[in-house]
Amino acid sequence: MIRVSILDDQYIVLNGIQQMLADNTIVQLTGMYRSKAELEEGLKVEEPDVLLLDIRMPGEDGVSIAEWLSEQWPEIKILALTNFDTTQYVTKMMQAGVKGYLLKNTDLNTLVDAIRCVYQDEQYIEPGLKEQIVSESLQLKKQKGHIPSLTRREKEILRLIVREHASSKEIADKLFLSLRTVESHRYHLFQKLDVKNVTGLVAKALEMGLLLG
């Protein structure tokens, strides 16, 4: 079972998700919190595998909470659950360490799929928003003059990381390279895109349209 907690200030959302997941055999709801303070106290008792995080709550910022969680509890996977369907929020949250981004009007199957995806340390972005990001990235690529220059091999590895969520070992096996060579290319990608982790790499690559060329 995947242990899941929710941070949202609205009772109707908390109760709605609780009812959706009540009889689910894959996901177990272990905690519901209405503020960062409540969440912090709850995490001292039990840590979930995945946290469903609202982006905007009275007096609290989802981006800041995501950054705080990523630093203090890096093993908890964060799935943003929100009404904001703008790509700017997606990029900000992904750069803050969030693994997934899902709209609140989702159905049960999609919610469980998204939870399972981030639990497995993969990125999940609402399909419609992902299309928007790619489209906006294409426009940005046309307008922006400074796009990092990547080698053919770096582009190949970047595509595997973003599209297939491949690990370094999987990339090495697929491209018949040594693990050390793949790690070297990953390091250069982090440097060129000015990011610190794979989540940031994915967000930046989508934002800059680096997979379109």
For the chain, domain boundaries: 2-125, 143-208
In the CATH hierarchy, which fold is given to the domain comprising 143-208?
A: Arc Repressor Mutant, subunit A (1.10.10)
Coil/strand/helix, residue 81: strand
- Per-residue confidence in pLDDT tens, the chain, 213 aa: 999 999 999 888 899 999 999 889 999 999 999 999 999 999 999 999 999 999 888 888 888 999 999 889 999 999 998 887 777 778 788 888 898 888 888 899 999 999 999 999 888 887 777 666 655 554 555 445 456 788 889 989 998 988 888 889 999 999 999 999 999 899 889 988 888 888 888 888 887 777 655
Q: Are 51 and 69 in contact (CB under 8 A)?
A: yes
Beta pairing class for 60-61 and 77-82 = unpaired
Architecture of domain 2-125 in this structure: 3-Layer(aba) Sandwich (3.40)
Judged on CB neighbours under 10 Å (0-12, 13-18, 19+), 191 is exposed
Beta pairing class for 60-61 and 124-125 = unpaired
